[in-house]
Amino acid sequence: MAELSAAVTATQELILAVNSGSSSLKFGLYRQPPGDCNPELLLAGGASGIGHPNGRLQIKDAGGTSKLDEAYQLNSQGHALKEILDAMERFGYGHPARIGHRVVHGGPHLREHQAITDALLEKLVAATQFAPIHIPAAVKLIRETEKLLPDAKQYACFDTAFHSTMPEVACHYPLPQRLYDMGIERYGFHGLSYESIVTRLGASLPERVVCAHLGAGASLAALRNGKSIDTSMGMTPVGGIPMATRSGDFDPGVVLFLMRTEQLSADQLESLLNHDSGLGALSGGESDMRLLEECAAKGDKKARLAIDVFAHGVRKMIGAYAAELGGLDLLVFTGGIGEHSAAVRNWICDGLAFMGITSGDPALCAKVKVVISEEELQIARITCRLRGRQ
């Protein structure tokens, strides 16, 4: 295996796609054939439970065969990345020459995928207030990657970049202009997932599409000719439809009420809206959709309510975007829930027959597709493209 890998990578550059979360890190290792921006998968996997005693590292080859599945005590994303790089070495692969990072938010001045420089990192740090949970972690991982792979070139792939095509009417909040000038606007997220879907469908993508990325974090996007014209998440990933533990949209007066009556600070409100709301709040503690479905099937009314509120929120957004697009040619489901829960898809589509959608099962409705989100592959594609511009 080592001899084969060395022979292959001698002329074909390795690209590592890194997709980090709050307690996880997914990756894909790809090779880039000379003159070709269609990276070929070599290894994929990730670390889970980072910062917790039950951490785990899993790696599979391109055929899906497990090469590593072990418990690990992982202290940080940087620690997880080091273990992944060490495993790649043991499997006979050299160090990657290019690393693409998913960066959730770049603020108002970083809206395009680009090579990482010291100047970019300074802008990213300056935008911390736009995503205080995500940006510091992203910068820390990039800096740790520099230490682990000092000769590699790094690239920032922004989740917000895909939505930079939205018209002003979709991204401008009804607030004073001075706040818009400060960067308070709708940015949108899950952009790499939506980009991967547009790339995957290619020429078969119709003019008017609504994409629903449904997972622990969830959003929808309205696409016209493959370009984003609106999306449900706003200035931060808290907005939009209800999610596993995030509130989604609601009357902003509720925040004022809580500030006055409960004397909640900004940090307490942030924790409430990000970690103590959504499906978990509605169900009484359970936020995993698979378990909610099981509980609802046994007659748990709170679990049923959580599912219904989720499906109701997604359905309303589909209707709104169909109106904005002037019709709907295709509804795409992706993300963990969107890809794997036929029941949730059907509950969402119940009531959409007036748009020609009779089922959430793509085998039964021509207007519905389930498309696997390929964020790591999209990061590799972007890294490949950016490398070609240098």
- Amino acid 218: pLDDT: 98
**If we measure between CA atoms, which residue out of 42, 39, 75, 31 comes closest to residue 57?**
75
- Phi first, then psi, for residue 239 (nearest 5°) are -80, 170
- Amino acid 197: pLDDT: 98
- Amino acid 38: pLDDT: 87
Helix 342-349 vs helix 301-325: crossing angle, to nearest 10: 60
- What's the pTM value of the predicted model, to 2 decimals? 0.94
- Amino acid 388: pLDDT: 66
The residue type found at 59 is I
- Amino acid 10: pLDDT: 44
User: SS3 for 133-156, per residue?
Assistant: CCHHHHHHHHHHHHHHCCCCEEEE
Q: E strand or H helix at 19, and its extent? A: strand 13-20
CA–CA gap between residue 280 and residue 287 (Å, rounded): 4
- CA-CA distances (angstroms) from residue 298 to 68, 244, 289, 303? 37, 20, 14, 10
Taking only the tens place, the pLDDT of each residue in 44-54 is 999 999 999 99
Average pLDDT, the chain: 94
DSSP state string for 57-95: EEEEETTS-EEEEEE----SHHHHHHHHHHHHHHTT---
- Point out the residues that are catalytic: 159
Q: Which part of the chain has CATH 3.30.420.40?
A: 2-158, 201-370
Q: What is the dotted CATH code of the domain comprising 2-158?
A: 3.30.420.40
Segment-wise mean pLDDT, segments of 10 residues, the chain, 390 residues: 43 88 92 84 96 94 97 94 96 94 96 97 95 91 97 97 98 97 97 98 98 97 98 96 97 97 96 97 97 98 98 98 98 97 98 96 97 97 84
CATH fold for domain 201-370: Nucleotidyltransferase; domain 5 (3.30.420)
3-class secondary structure, 4? helix
